[in-house]
Amino acid sequence: MPASDFYHDQVVRALQADGWTITADPLHISYAEQNYYVDLGAERNLLAAEKGTETIAVEIKSFLSRSHTTDLRDAIGQFNLYRDILKLSKPECRLFLAIDTKIYDHLFAGKYGHFVIKMQKLNLIVFDAAQERIIEWLKQ
């Protein structure tokens, strides 16, 4: 099993405060005898009019290395791999990349970041680590 991400506990508490139940920590996915672990699996009940549950997988990224560009490249590669495997193994599950609001403001809020989000079809959870709450959901 992989080690927990730097912001793991804060994201868990932020999701729970937002009404999500953590169903897997980590979420095991596999394809063709290859095993991977997304940081979290979660679900919540949909509104009464919609009925059922919504299921998500959450990959948490801290961007703690010296190069945010390298961290971004690695995060996008991992996100795309996990998204493709989830399409086959758990098609009802939508993948999100969870990033702290400071990283969002630094890397994703501007023109370049919007380009990356759009071209890579990234679903983001922007969270405030200090307050342990979700700031924004960006769904593609």
Domain boundaries in the chain? 8-138
Q: Over 60: is that where the pLDDT of 1 sits?
A: no
Read off the pLDDT of each residue in 15-43 and give the average, rounded to a whole number. 96
Confidence of residue 14 (pLDDT cuts 50, 70, 90): very high
Q: Over 90: is that where the pLDDT of 52 sits?
A: no
Nearest-CA neighbor of 13 among 128, 104, 93, 102? Answer: 128
Q: pTM (2 decimals)?
A: 0.93
CATH 3.40.1350.10 fits 8-138, yes or no: yes
Confidence of residue 49 (pLDDT cuts 50, 70, 90): low
Sequence-separated (6 or more) residues with CB below 8 Å from residue 93: 41, 55, 56, 57, 86
- Coil, helix or strand for 66? coil
Instruction: Give Cα 22 to chain centroid, integer Å.
Output: 13
Question: What is each CA distance from 61 to 4, 26, 72, 79, in whole angstroms?
Answer: 10, 14, 9, 10
Confidence of residue 2 (pLDDT cuts 50, 70, 90): low
